[in-house]
């Protein structure tokens, strides 16, 4: 096996790594470390193949990474613990050059084929399976760099663009040009090419998937709201738990509600208040007290509940019962 690490500006910078043909699978752990070093934290799982061959090269510049990768059959995933171990948020543009890859990104099950391009978000749950020899190029982008050009980027995470024609083909050829010149261009030149690259990406995404992504966003929000309504009685209902259950980042969860002019916590409280009002209206039949109703729907502070109820409905809970 050959693992080459170069030093640049006093820091270690992974540039090339490869196994030799026929290398024993015992070296799989080192490959996993190299993959994490180049592609952010992942949990990688080896398969039963008696040997494993892989290689990658990485060009790092100004917060970006351009990664060429080829490997045999393997699987991996990023979940809560891997996401928590990622210091910054990133997007990645994945161009599949050869082979196939099965990916679950958030709630989307995807099948990538040759020339397909995927935008993935490091803050969302993700898993993959490489069923056969694969070659791909990945451009890893700081989140702020893409959202400064394309503020709606989170809505398009998990989108696959066909590279066979149109803007997808143009984007694919552009990424392959970066791939081909990744070692000949200086850091300043590569960095200067990132903004036009991200603009091409934004045009390819919105030109082919605008209606679909708008629909997906509404469906995601509907699933989130249904989950909240089904769990209103749970005192531990929180944005972080909701995001984890839905397979999205807390940041994206807040973005979805902000677009509606609300917040996650405000929507939860509003739903709970309306459930309390329904129970107060039939309290004479059920025999439940104001305190019992408040506690039933997730309020553990009666004073806070009474104040919130009056702000929402213009009457205190007691006055509402008498109304």
Q: Is residue 253 part of a domain?
A: no
Q: 3-state DSSP call for residue 24? A: strand
Q: What token pair was written down for 62?
A: 């100004």
Cα dist from 78 to 41, 102, 123, 234, 256, whole Å: 7, 14, 9, 27, 22
Number of domains, the chain: 2
Q: Of 165, 181, 209, which marks where a domain is finished?
A: 209
The answer as to whether 23 is a domain residue is: yes
Q: In this model, does residue 212 exceed pLDDT 60?
A: no
Entry pTM = 0.66
Output the DSSP codes for 83-109. HHT-SS-EEEEEEEEES-EEEEETTEE
Which residue segment(s) compose the domain that 280 sits in? Answer: 266-322
Do 97 and 205 reside in the same domain of the chain? yes
Domain boundary among 209, 232, 247: 209
Asked if residue 249 belongs to a domain, the reply is no
pLDDT (average), residues 158-183: 92
Q: Are residues 29 and 150 in the same domain?
A: yes
Residues 143 and 14 in one domain: yes
Per-chain mean pLDDT for the chain:
85
Q: Is residue 107 exposed (0-12), middle (13-18) or buried (19+ Cβ within 10 Å)?
A: middle
For 219-238, how does the pLDDT look when each residue is reduced to its tens digit (9 = 90+)? 778 788 888 988 999 988 99
Q: Are residues 32 and 150 in the same domain?
A: yes
pLDDT (mean) for 114-122:
93
Residue 287 has φ and ψ, to the nearest 5°, of 80, 10
| Final residue in a domain of this structure, among 161, 179, 209 | 209
Q: Residue 114: its pLDDT value, please? A: 93
Same-domain status, 316 and 172? no
Would the CA dihedral through 94, 99, 100, 101 be positive or negative?
negative
Asked, for residue 227, whether it belongs to a domain, the answer is no
Burial of 61 (C-beta count, 10 Å sphere; 0-12/13-18/19+): middle
Strand 11-18 to strand 64-71: parallel, antiparallel, or no bridges (unpaired)?
unpaired
Q: What is the pLDDT of residues 79-106, one digit of tens each?
A: 888 887 888 889 999 999 999 999 988 7
**b/e per residue 246-273 (b: at least 16 CB within 10 A):** bbbbbebbebbbeeeeeebeebbbebbb
Q: Label residue 40 exposed, middle or buried (CB < 10 Å: 0-12, 13-18, 19+).
A: buried
pLDDT at 310 over 80: yes
């Amino acid at each position: 096996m050959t693992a080459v690490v170069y030093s640049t500006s006093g820091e270690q910078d992974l540039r090339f790594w490869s196994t030799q043909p026929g290398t024993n699978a015992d070296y799989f752990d080192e490959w996993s470390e190299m993959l994490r070093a180049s592609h952010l934290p992942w949990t990688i799982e080896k398969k039963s193949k008696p040997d494993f061959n892989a290689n990658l090269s990485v060009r790092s510049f100004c917060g970006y990474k351009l990664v060429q990768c080829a490997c045999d059959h393997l699987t991996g995933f990023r979940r809560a613990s891997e996401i928590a171990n990622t210091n910054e948020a990133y997007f990645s543009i994945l161009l599949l050059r050869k082979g196939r890859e099965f990916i679950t990104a958030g709630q989307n099950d995807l099948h990538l084929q040759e020339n397909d391009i995927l935008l993935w978000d490091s803050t969302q749950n993700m898993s993959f399976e490489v069923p056969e020899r694969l070659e791909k190029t990945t451009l890893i982008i700081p989140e702020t760099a893409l959202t400064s050009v394309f503020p709606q980027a989170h809505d398009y995470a998990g989108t696959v663009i066909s590279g066979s024609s149109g803007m997808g083909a143009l984007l694919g050829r552009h990424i392959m040009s970066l791939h081909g010149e990744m070692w000949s261009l200086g850091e300043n030149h590569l960095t200067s090419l990132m903004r036009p690259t991200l603009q091409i990406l934004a045009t390819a995404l919105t030109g082919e998937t605008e209606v679909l992504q708008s629909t997906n966003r509404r469906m995601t929000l509907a699933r989130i709201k249904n989950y909240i309504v089904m769990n209103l009685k749970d005192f531990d209902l929180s944005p972080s738990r909701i995001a984890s259950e839905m397979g999205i980042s807390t940041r994206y969860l807040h973005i979805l509600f902000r677009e509606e002019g609300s917040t996650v916590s405000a929507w939860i409280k509003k739903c709970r208040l309306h459930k309390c009002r329904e129970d107060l209206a039939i309290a004479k039949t059920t025999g439940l007290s104001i305190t019992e109703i408040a506690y039933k729907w997730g309020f553990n502070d009666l004073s806070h509940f009474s104040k919130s109820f009056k702000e929402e409905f213009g009457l205190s809970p007691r006055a509402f019962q008498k109304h």
